[in-house]
Every structure is written in structure tokens, then in C-alpha cells.
Amino acid sequence: MSKNIPLTFACGDYAITRPLIDGIVRPDGIDLTVLTDMDSTTRHWRFYNNQEFDMAEASCSTYLVAKDQEKPFDAIPVFLHRRFRHGFVFINTKKNIREPKDLIGKKVGIKHWQVTAILWMKGILEHEYGVPHRSIDWYQELDQDIPVELPKDIKLETLPNEKSVETMLVEGELDACIHSSIIKPIINGDKRVTRLFPNFKQEEINFFKKTRMFPIMHITGIKKELVEQHPWIPINMYHALNKAKNIAMNEMVNPRIVPLAWYREAWEEQEKILGNDPWEYGLGKQNRKTLDNMINYSHEQGLIKKKLTVEDLFIDVSQGRKRGEEFQI
């Protein structure tokens, strides 16, 4: 009898991964150790730079760069994190910024140029609101996870270690900031800072209705050598992650699962707007469109040199499986 292969998988502790974390779902042929004790920024850097984990939930933007530079990574089409990003553009209230086009010529802070959330919002501002990313002076806090030499007409400066884009925004050194998280001044109700889009939820709904895209943030990456040695691993992991998600989604229908008074109404609203499974894995029509869009944004923003295809990015996880609606990916 063959032994299971011990593997590590670093990911977020979400409802859709909890069945895998708790061992309710076990991928065939794998003794899986799931690591959830780090923030996403740390996890991405450790995976792409140190290859510390066999598999990881990792930045989609950085994965595009990795494939463009032929780094030793593959991925399966499991998207553990998605998020609309209109609510993460923050402005200093004294800078006379009333609409997106007022950002042209302004100083805007970001974590770093390669962050997936930033990739999306730069692209959305350019294509939906007429704000070219090359019309802004950008200031990043961190180095990129995988170094990229950007085109010379992109105005990007890396801040000293002691500088924070949040603090600089509050103090007026920056005019605006695009972040992957809700910044503390917003949480604390600091009147010097507000959102560019006050009714960001409606903007996000409008964006989805127009484009049918629910922005993908993270892919599930796998070390290339592992795939070469054991090509069945990504297939079994895909199906285990899909099973874990289905278990979680079936449980989440129950309004008692979350201590919110109007939780069920929120669930029904999401279903009405985004459809029955907005967190869908695989390479269906909507996911393909979203990924093609990300590839275009990445190419426009100087992160990748080649025009990659969706097929370049993901392992075929349909091998050896039954066909039919029940098994579609």
C-alpha cells in the first residue's frame, strides 16, 4: 500500500477552507498540513521568494509576473479571495478631490506596484473613469515581491522605511491612497480622510453589472517541481478545495451560522446580484473573462512583457475525471 505524500498548504482561515483545515475534507493521497498563522503579505512573499510551502494561496498579480519571468510555479484555478476594490481608494479631504479624474497629476500612495488590489484599481480607474495610470505620481511603501523593471514613463518612487502611506495621507503629504485593506484613519473616523467613492457599494454593483467581473485577488499556487514529480497532486487538491467550498456554502445558507441580524437578507442580495456561485472555481466563461482582463491590466502597467493566455497560467485539473455536469470545472 502506497503512503500518502506529506505536503504543506499556506492559506487564509476562511469558511471555504475550514473543512480542509479541520480535516473534514482530505485530498486523496496527501497528508496535508494547512498553515494559516500569517498575514497574506507575508505568505505571498515567503511563497514566491523562499518557496517555503508546497502550495499556497498567493497573489494573482505576482503569479502573472512569475509566469512571465518563467519562475518555478504553477497554479490551479482555485480563487480563495475575491473583492471589489472601489471602497479602498482613500483621499485627503483638503485636496479638492471630488471625482476620479481629480486624481490626474496627484500624489497617490500604494503598498507596492504589484499588489493585486492595486493592479485592479489602477485598471478600473483608467478604463472605467478615464484616469490613466501614467498620469499619476505613485509612491510605494514596499519593494515588489518579484522585481520588475517598469517602463520609464511610470512615475513610481519607493518611500523610506520610516514612511507610511496612511500617515502621509492623513498629514497631506499624499493626496490619495489605494490600499488592500481598510486603513486605520477610516476605521477611527479621522475627518482628514474619506473615500473617493462615498457610495462605493453601488459603484461596485454597477461595475459588476457592466463587466460581469468579480475581481480575483488570489490563485492557488504550487511549486513546479512538485507538479512534475506528482502530476496528480493539483487535480486532487482542486477537487478537495472545491468540496470544502461546497460544504461551507451549504452551511452558510443557514442564518444562524453568523451572528448578524440581517445576514440572510445580505446573502439573498448577493445571490440576486452576483448569482448562485460568485466564488466559482475553474475556468468557466466569467472566470476566463476576469483573468483575461487581469492579464491586459498587468501588460498595460508594465508588470509583464508577454501577453499570456489563461492556458499559460493553470494546470488542467480535468484529467482522469468523469465528464458531465456534476464534474464540470
CATH number at residue 72: 3.40.190.10
Residue 66 is assigned to a structural domain of this protein: yes
Task: From 200, 223, 256, give the residue that closes a domain.
Answer: 200
Q: What is the pLDDT of residues 278-309, one digit of tens each?
A: 999 999 999 999 999 999 999 999 999 998 99
Whether residues 158 and 96 share a domain: the answer is yes
- Rounded Cα distance between 126 and 298, Å, is 13
Whether residues 138 and 191 share a domain: the answer is yes
Residue 206 is assigned to a structural domain of this protein: no
| Residue 29, C-alpha cell as written in the block | 493521497
Residue 208 is assigned to a structural domain of this protein: no
Smallest CA-to-CA distance from 217 within 116, 309, 144, 291 is with 116
Whether residues 149 and 223 share a domain: the answer is no
Whether residues 309 and 255 share a domain: the answer is yes
Beta strands in the chain (DSSP E): 5-10, 30-35, 55-59, 73-76, 89-92, 107-110, 137-140, 156-158, 176-178, 193-195, 218-223
- Taken in order 108, 113, 115, 117, is the CA torsion positive or negative? positive
Residue 186 is assigned to a structural domain of this protein: yes
Task: Please tell me the predicted confidence (pLDDT) of residue 318.
Answer: 81
Whether residues 243 and 323 share a domain: the answer is yes
Residue 161 is assigned to a structural domain of this protein: yes
Q: What is the pLDDT of residues 238-274, one digit of tens each?
A: 999 999 999 999 998 888 888 999 999 999 999 999 9
- Rounded Cα distance between 211 and 293, Å, is 10
Give the chain's domain count.
2
Question: Within a 13 Å sphere around the CA of 318, how many CA atoms are in the beta-carbon half?
Answer: 12
Residue 205 is assigned to a structural domain of this protein: no
Whether residues 302 and 239 share a domain: the answer is yes
How many CB atoms within 10 Å of residue 89?
22
Q: Can you give the pTM of this predicted structure?
A: 0.94
Whether residues 74 and 218 share a domain: the answer is yes
Whether residues 75 and 95 share a domain: the answer is no
Whether residues 53 and 107 share a domain: the answer is no
Domain extent, residue 171, equals 86-200
Whether residues 48 and 131 share a domain: the answer is no
Whether residues 166 and 144 share a domain: the answer is yes
Which residues, other chains included, contact 321 with Cβ-Cβ below 8 Å and sequence gap of 6+? Answer: 235, 239, 327
3-state SS, residue 156: strand
- Rounded Cα distance between 104 and 273, Å, is 32
Residue 105 is assigned to a structural domain of this protein: yes
Whether residues 241 and 175 share a domain: the answer is no
Task: Please tell me the predicted confidence (pLDDT) of residue 321.
Answer: 53
Residue 207 is assigned to a structural domain of this protein: no
Mean pLDDT by 10 residues, the chain (329 residues): 87 97 96 96 96 98 98 98 98 98 98 97 98 98 95 96 96 97 96 98 98 98 97 96 96 89 94 95 97 98 96 87 48
